[in-house]
Amino acid sequence: MGAESEHNSPVADAQPPLVGKFIYGFGVLVALLHIYFNTLGTLSELWVSALHFGLFGVLCALLCPLARRGKPANYLLNGALGLLALLCAGYLILNEAALYDRGVVFTGADWLISGLAILIVIEFTRRTTGWLIPVLIVLAITYMAWWGRYLSGVFAFPGLSWETVLFRSFFSNEGMFGAIARISSTYVFMFILFGAFLVKSGAGEFIINLARCVAGRLVGGPGLVAVFGSGLMGSISGSAVANTVSTGIVTIPLMKRSGFRADFAAGIEAASSTGGQLMPPVMGAGAFVMASYTQVPYAEIIAVALLPALLYFLSVAAFVRIEAKRHGLGSVDQQVPRFTTLLREGWHSLLPIAVLVALLIYGFTPTYAAGLSILAAIVASWLSPRPLGLRDILDALADGSRNMVSTAILLIAVGLVINVVTTTGIGNTFSLMINEWSQGSLLISIVLVALASLVIGMGLPVTAAYIVLGTLSAPALYNLIVEMQLLDALVRGEIAEGGRMALMLVDAALPEAVNQGLSESRAQALLAELPLEVKGLLIEQGLQPAVITGALLSAHLIIFWLSQDSNVTPPVCLAAFAAAAIAHSRPMRTGFLSWRFAKGLYIVPLMIAYGPLTSGSWDQMLLAFAAGVFGIYALVGVLEGYLEGPLRWWQRLVLLAAAGLLLWPGMHIGLNLLGTLLVGLVTGLSWQPFRSREQTGELEPVENSEGSLSSVGR
């Protein structure tokens, strides 16, 4: 189990036995080396990133060979390509000092090795994720060195020499082996390895049983098991497709047996599994990239991300409950374990996760926390009837390395694109374009980012989509969010002393006026008139650091959430397609259903942008969460036309108004309470028609798991 790239399906079948044994042994070695690098090692970050590329290059060459089925000679050729990747890493380590000694002047070998390394990572990326990223790399590098100078306008770039381009791409800390590669070799790999040990120790089975125990007997129990099980499993796997496959083989047949349609069951599983990448503590590789971009501690990110993730899963659960109510579906799971029995037999499975969370809260780095949690998983297994032995530990090490292959190659390759974006200033240009197109509207900016994420996500795994979009559009979203916070501070008269001094540069009378609080129209006019330099000083010195950090984190969380939609949005929705394969349902219909069930991916980012869900005090965040629960449930009722029973048209309008009272930004708590009362009123009114129809014995045809029709009482 791991955050394996959704576009990759390494081929292990038809391998000669000797190749399989080599992959297993080499995978164990790779895992042990990375544990050493991240705990006891003292190598430079550049060298570790280079070895990360070389080691996973060998595994990628053998697990994703050029010819899917071939003779042993095919593996020899692919093995030679992997060895070249390792040799490129070794060349960098051995010749880095000499390159700087001669003033960064390339020799023939430097030209050869740097160019070869880039070509190798392009080819490995093509094998694991398809053509889009390789094409982006080629376009980006050639833009920086060649055709950018022929453009006019904002995208014109004078160009760098090929020697400089290759140096920045291969030998420096900014290209292949830059910040993204360091995240891959440290946080991401250690957490994927931790997930492999958890699965090997039986924690995955415990999580599914825990979900069955909690939700199995509720209305729509099997569907709720899929939602909760995917959330729990996703918190350690961080991959939507891996989550779908691992939990779906249990939950989808369970849902079908209880009467849910096959496409509905698959859509719920795909939507739930997509939320796995939103659920702390792992969140795929996104949380680690976010920590690097924002310089916000990882522990703080996962703490802030918890309430939005819970909102998402509750939104999917609302669809399950309403569908079960509509068709009178109960639970056919007759083997729901007793909670006390489950905890008595499997409590040890919770120990590694508890150790991980405790270490993060205590202040350990995520890398050390993951390493110690791996040891905790091994020790915890010794308290179970199936303790991990030496062979099991080796299996987990090998599985972790195999699960990491495509992610490692992907993140190294994306570093080449990010290098070009930062070097040429395209990111700033793109942000300025978003500001211009949106005319300063945060809502329009979010819509533009959502559209961009949908297009980019059709060809990129979600982690890569977040990295690209975060680099390009996060500054624009941050500026709009922080200006909204600044406007609010001006209205409330809560500008710090440093900010008032900055305003004196414009008008000596402004500080006193600001101290009293401005009207909203006056504050907007003031911000429109301020020079950019003064506005920047006002933000930096007039707002509390926590407010600025919250705005930055909110911008990245919005992009991270929106980047997930490619998992469930046709025409390319890999999580939905994986679920459809298990359910034997129509893939495209499953995709549209999963997109419908994943509406929280669009609602919650708006709550993050306009409310205190992630940037307020804890009491404000909890109130926003509570309002969000009722507001999203109301919206699901509007979409489905059903709550406890069918809704009339005017009841749906009332629900829509209630959702607005609960979700609209800046609403007073009294209006939130009014919205909650309206939701309760409509729910109660819908109950009576449902009860009368049930008493009359009306039956409704429902498609069963085999696709035929049967009558099920509502």
Residue 394 is assigned to a structural domain of this protein: no
Digit-coded pLDDT (tens) for 680-697: 999 888 875 444 444 444
Same structural domain for residues 191 and 288?
yes
The low-confidence residues of the chain, meaning pLDDT below 50, are 1-13, 689-714
Q: Identify the domain containing residue 606 by its residue range.
A: 185-388+568-616
Predicted local distance difference test score (pLDDT) of residue 1? 39
Residue 378, pLDDT score: 92
Report the pLDDT value the prediction gives residue 433, as an integer from 0 to 100.
Answer: 81
Q: Which of 534, 564, 594 is the last residue of a domain?
A: 564
374 belongs to a structural domain: yes
Any domain includes 398 = no
Q: Are residues 372 and 279 in the same domain?
A: yes
Same domain, 578 and 490: no
Instruction: List Cα–Cα distances, 427 to 8, 239, 415, 421, in angstroms.
Output: 28, 27, 14, 6
Count of CB atoms situated within 10 Å of the CB of 64: 21
Domain contains 711 = no
SS3 530: coil
Question: Do 278 and 309 meet the contact criterion of CB atoms below 8 Å apart?
Answer: yes
What CA–CA distance (Å, rounded) separates 462 from 649?
38
Q: Are residues 476 and 336 in the same domain?
A: no
Tokens of 500: 């008032």
- The predicted structure's pLDDT at residue 393: 94
The answer to the question of residue 412 being in a domain is: no
What pTM value is reported for the model? 0.79
Same domain, 499 and 369: no
Domain check: are 531 and 588 in the same one?
A: no
Same domain, 469 and 557: yes
Same domain, 580 and 504: no
And the tokens for 333?
A: 């799971």
Q: From 405, 502, 542, 399, select the one nearest 64 (Cα to Cα).
A: 405
Domain count, the chain: 4
Both 98 and 55 in one domain: the answer is: yes
